[in-house]
Amino acid sequence: MSTDLSPLLQPFSCKSLKLRNRVAMAPMTRSFSPGNVPNDAVVKYYQRRAEGEIGLIITEGVEINHAGASGFPNVPKIYGEAMTGWKRVVDAVHAAGGQIIPQLWHVGAVRKPETDDAAPAYSPSGLFAPGKKNGVAMTKDDINEVIAAFAESAKQSKEAGFDGVEIHGAHGYLIDQFLWEGTNIRDDEYGGSLENRARFACEIVKAVRAAVGEDFAIVFRFSQWKQQEYEAKLANTPEQLKQLLNLLVDAGVDIFHASTRRFWEPEFEGSDLNLAGWTQKLAGKPAISVGSVGLTEDFISGTFASDKPAVEKSGIDELVKRMANHEFELIAVGRALLQDPQWLQKMRDGKEDEVKAFSKASLKELV
């Protein structure tokens, strides 16, 4: 017997976002944009997810216009000639009834030198991870340049027709490197206390808000875990999390995207709430949850390290229960949608057995 997905299928609104349902496509780096410009294959890739009735598409991370923002080859940028390609993506998604936001990204110290030998890896303290040096510590001029680049990319995104923006503050990339004590050992106003470590993120949010206006939705993605250290935490208690969230809300965040490896895992002892659940409760803002939806293994310990296909229909009852209880307002689906653009339609219509299973081989092409 199939699961009733009606809690996932309700409309959702927040400022410029008017979604037909509460299912989002999670941002996933694909590296299929030669010259950093989205081409026909990328247009059709996103269009197929919109045709599959996904409510909100969050693009792969896109590079802002700053030296060192790029970390990997063939990742699309969000400025210059790439905007023509993105306008085609946006128009295709809108024509299929979906909405779409770009994930604005600066990789910081997490970058491959061969991407651009002329630019250093920028970070708050010249660290890739605790005690591991890479690149240069940012000056205040560097910080101001990055803030301005985020704002300009947000402005160009709005002009291209995107429905909002997501700021990538998770997974150990530049913004997260400022938030995390492990990579931020500065002794100025951008380091030390949580308020100071959050200053860079908050100034980016404020600059983006000034660039796009009050009615344009700003999503902020954050995580406890880092690619440098899976057990890392920005907040060890709900009180610490609330302090961080309040700073970001005051800066102008509308929606939080709380990234976890497994959506069903509780964040703090004494409660079943996951990170998104705690975020929505503490911040008073809508939260997006994410993490191995429809899969048997998370993306670190599971199918990214194996060619064994993942089952695409596990955990759905638990997801529906949490959505029905309004623990969080939206759910982002990653690898399940990467392999099967019709995942939502098949799950909704009781055709779970027709869902195409994700496997590592799926990463080698745009399905």
The residues assigned a catalytic role are 173
Are 20 and 55 in contact by the 8 Å Cβ rule? The answer is: yes
Give the span between the Cα atoms of 169 and 134, in whole angstroms: 19
The neighbour count for residue 341, using CB atoms within 10 Å, is: 21
The CA distance from 77 to 153, in Å, is 9
Provide the residue type at 60 as one letter.
E
Is 258:290 a contact under the CB 8 Å cutoff?
yes
Q: Are 88 and 43 in contact (CB under 8 A)?
A: yes
Other CB atoms closer than 10 Å to residue 13's CB: what's the count?
A: 10
Token digits for 49? 């997810």
Two tokens, residue 28: 């996933």
CA-only gyration radius of the chain, Å: 19
